Amino acid sequence: MTYIVIEQHETEYPNPIKLKAGERVIIGEESTDTWFNWVFCTKIDGSNEGWVPKQIIEYDSGIISQDYSAKELNVEKGMIVEGIKELNGWLWSKIKSTDEKGWIPLEKIKLL
């Protein structure tokens, strides 16, 4: 589905966590504010940390069930994006003009 950006978004995390299926993480706090079902995780080697969807974490082992990147897109109002996957108030998207992929908060886009 195609969306238009209705409000600018800039990431607060320039070094997003990237995980592979089967990788183990240290499970931290759960988000309790606006963003539900996100868990702050740290790579076992301590090299990176970030928010991970609760749905892909096996809590008994800390193993990630699927590949994941926390990369957010920096977008300007009026940009067109293609929606790929919606999860927990965010949309994994692709910027039409550059093919760059990342997350955008649903509140900052509108379905065309």
Residues 84 and 64 in one domain: no
CATH of the domain at 42: 2.30.30
Q: Which pLDDT does position 85 carry in this prediction?
A: 96
Range of the domain at 52: 18-69
CA dihedral 1, 32, 11, 41 (to 10 degrees): -100
Please determine, for residue 9, whether its predicted confidence score (pLDDT) is greater than 90.
yes
pLDDT digits 0-9 by tens, 58-87: 999 999 999 999 999 999 999 999 999 999
Q: Check whether 35 has a pLDDT greater than 90.
A: no
Q: What does the alpha-carbon distance between residue 104 and residue 14 come to, in Å, rounded to a whole number?
A: 14
pLDDT tens by residue, 88-98? 999 999 999 99
Total domains in the fold of the chain: 2
Closest residue by Cα to residue 68 from 83, 54, 82, 81: 54
